[in-house]
Structure 1
Amino acid sequence: MIEAVKFWNEPNNKSHWDLELDPEWRLYAQMVKSAAQAVKAERPDVLRVLGGISPIDPAFVTRLQALEATADLDAVAVHGFPLDWNLWSIHDWREKIAEIEAVTQLPVWVTEVGVSSFGAEEVQEFGLRRTAELLCGRVDRIHWYSLYDLPRAWEATTRHREAEGSSYYRHFHMGLLREDGTPKRALEQFAQYTPEIGICQWFHFEDHRLDDAVAWLQRLGVRRLRTGLSWADHLRPDAERWFDRMMRRLEGFDLTITFCFTPESKGLRPHHTSPPQDPVEFADFCAAMLRRYA
């Protein structure tokens, strides 16, 4: 049921990787190399993917290749939100893909693309339609972000706040469903693009939306689902019970699993964005998850 794994989420985004500790991505490259080799040894049939990059930056991919981090990878993933955060037009999607293809022989996947409904649900509808026009048939994998709005009581993972010019509030309006589970205008349209377009939906530890999410995904005809298994959560009490429940409920989907988030006790700093003290421990976590769930 696990067809692919990704090593981290947006490693070139300071909201997800501590660039003060690793400004040249040497530690990230070392971690990816170790993890990719461990996954390859455990399950060589599972595809190995570079953590989705945001911004879409060919220089970052070139840097990782120079550090030999991509030697055991099968694809490179990118994330784009041109109607909300990126300083490029939604109509430029194919050009952005070509920028990455120009510097790597690996296939390019789009594992997060989405549009906020903050301004108007009609904008989200347009963004979904235009994204499908530009990316369907152009890349092997597309994952729409996301099924649900982020609950207002939860914190969006970002170090960019309004004071820094960020549209932070848009994080909470990316779903096809509102926080209370009611559908937005784009939801019905989305079913026209499945199963080619999948969903990216993060499930928090003991997420109350899991069962309802599975029902909606099935109703929409979604086959490919991207979600995450958190290394930090793995050290919580009853973590395996929650992981087992989540993965059991997701058995009907072709899963792309993102391995990410450093436990506070394992980082160079006590924060989930920190590089680990020992990259082999992250690799061991990835291999253990493959043994248990693949």
Structure 2
Amino acid sequence: MIEAVMLWNEPNNKSHWDFQLDPEWTRFADMVKCAADAIAAANPRLPRVLGGISPIDAGFMANMKGQGVLDAVDAVAVHGFPLDWNHWQIHEWPAKLDEIRAVTDRPLWVSEVGVSTFGAEEVQDWGLQRTAELLIGRAPRIHWYSLFDLPRAWPATTRHREAEGSSYYRHFYMGLVREDGTEKPAYRTFRRFAPAMGLCQWFHFRDHRLDEAVARMKDLGVTHLRTGLSWADSYRDGALDWFDRQMEALADFDVTVTFCFTPEHRGIEPHHTSPPQVKEEFARFCADMVHRYAPARSLTAAAAD
């Protein structure tokens, strides 16, 4: 079942939100507040989470607080990759959480944390163990990123190969399972930390890995999953059929579903990181997905059970 909805993904990262078009994030703030209201109208019991920020930046969170965004959500989230992209060390995780807690009293989730095997698979295995030691018990939700390596034939969505150099290729090695379907050492290690640690796994449109993902997550003892439903994908032929298939397959997990990615023809500029031309259109997509996959009566019935 859907246990929460997340509004956008890494909004303070230029690869996910074009802040040249929105330098103070005022458009983003208005969009999130509008969407949060629409979700609350569709299902007032469904928790709303501000999209996980990357980098972890208390200044950005203070900006969101000042614009009233934190009043519209039930939790906030952060993403951290200190062994790959961040400019801080892994042992600083507790301090990084404290930086955000100094700004808001909202529950703080870690909705993406991971280690690539770009350099060595042993680094990921050690990083997983150290991350679990540092975060379990300090955040109500921890989602390890990710289950699968990204197939090399696919682009890393929202990333820029030419500008990022070797940092770009780390995106392809974040999984516990290699592209050929074999398990990395950290796969076995992960069993020790589930279900306290969940997974974040993005599924591409008509992703052939969906059924294998379900089987592997059950094998690992995962109960909490974070994934996404793309507003941009909703304009593809057969979009609702795919969304139905995805959500039905994931029904046995407590799913945090992330709504993000602007359709090219609905953005101020024609790309998926652009602010939308009309914020109410994103809000309508969010509400429609909640009505379809997390209607108010389903959560009420579940609570009664």
TM-score by length of 2: 0.95
Q: Which moved more, 1:149-158 or 1:88-97?
A: 149-158
* Structure 2 residue identity aligned to 1:177: V
Counterpart check, 1:126 vs 2:154: no
Q: 1: distance between equivalents of 2:238 and 2:96?
A: 42
Cross-structure match for 1:108: 108
Counterpart check, 1:47 vs 2:78: no
* Structure 2 residue identity aligned to 1:154: W
Distance 1:92 1:78, change over 3 A: same
Q: CA deviation at 1:157?
A: 2.8
Counterpart check, 1:23 vs 2:23: yes
Q: 2: distance between equivalents of 1:162 and 1:170?
A: 14
Q: 1: distance between equivalents of 2:180 and 2:271?
A: 30
Cross-structure match for 1:200: 200
Q: 2: distance between equivalents of 1:20 and 1:155?
A: 23
* Structure 1 residue identity aligned to 2:82: P
Cross-structure match for 1:210: 210
Aligned-residue RMSD, C-alpha: 1.1
Distance 1:265 1:162, change over 3 A: closer
TM-superposition CA deviations, 1:17-68 (whole Å, max 9, x none): 0111111100000000000111111111111000000000000000011111
* Structure 2 residue identity aligned to 1:89: Q
The 8 Å contact of residues 159 and 168 in structure 2, kept in 1 or not, is answered as no
Indicate the SS of the match to 1:29: helix
Q: How does 1:163-178 map to 2 (within 5 A)?
A: 163-164=163-164, 167-178=167-178
Cross-structure match for 1:58: 58
Q: Which moved more, 1:155-164 or 1:11-20?
A: 155-164
Q: 2: distance between equivalents of 1:236 and 1:206?
A: 11
* Structure 1 residue identity aligned to 2:36: A
Q: 2: distance between equivalents of 1:20 and 1:27?
A: 11
Q: Which moved more, 1:125-134 or 1:36-45?
A: 36-45
Q: 1: distance between equivalents of 2:161 and 2:141?
A: 30
Q: 2: distance between equivalents of 1:113 and 1:165?
A: 21
Q: 2: distance between equivalents of 1:91 and 1:42?
A: 41
Q: 2: distance between equivalents of 1:55 and 1:165?
A: 19
Structure 2, unaligned runs of 5 or more? 295-305
Q: 1: distance between equivalents of 2:163 and 2:270?
A: 25
The 8 Å contact of residues 194 and 222 in structure 1, kept in 2 or not, is answered as yes
Q: 1: distance between equivalents of 2:99 and 2:272?
A: 30
* Structure 2 residue identity aligned to 1:119: G
Q: 2: distance between equivalents of 1:166 and 1:55?
A: 19
Cross-structure match for 1:275: 275
Q: 1: distance between equivalents of 2:44 and 2:32?
A: 16
Q: CA deviation at 1:265?
A: 1.2
Q: 1: distance between equivalents of 2:158 and 2:28?
A: 19
Q: Which runs of 4+ in 1 moved over 2 A?
A: 157-166
Q: CA deviation at 1:168?
A: 1.2
* Structure 2 residue identity aligned to 1:17: W
Aligned residue pairs total: 294
Q: CA deviation at 1:15?
A: 0.4
Distance 1:125 1:225, change over 3 A: same
Q: CA deviation at 1:162?
A: 6.1
The 8 Å contact of residues 76 and 107 in structure 1, kept in 2 or not, is answered as yes
TM-score by length of 1: 0.98
Cross-structure match for 2:148: 148
The 8 Å contact of residues 121 and 185 in structure 1, kept in 2 or not, is answered as yes
The 8 Å contact of residues 113 and 143 in structure 2, kept in 1 or not, is answered as yes
Q: CA deviation at 1:164?
A: 4.9
Indicate the SS of the match to 2:199: strand
Counterpart check, 1:86 vs 2:86: yes
Structure 1, unaligned runs of 5 or more? none
Q: 1: distance between equivalents of 2:284 and 2:258?
A: 15
Q: 1: distance between equivalents of 2:252 and 2:163?
A: 43
Q: CA deviation at 1:165?
A: 6.1
* Structure 2 residue identity aligned to 1:240: L
TM-superposition CA deviations, 1:80-137 (whole Å, max 9, x none): 0000000000000000000000011111100000000111111001100000000000
Indicate the SS of the match to 1:178: coil
The 8 Å contact of residues 53 and 78 in structure 2, kept in 1 or not, is answered as yes
* Structure 1 residue identity aligned to 2:216: W
Cross-structure match for 2:34: 34
Indicate the SS of the match to 2:52: strand
Q: State the identity as a percent.
A: 66
Q: 2: distance between equivalents of 1:27 and 1:176?
A: 37
Q: 2: distance between equivalents of 1:94 and 1:283?
A: 34
Indicate the SS of the match to 1:140: coil
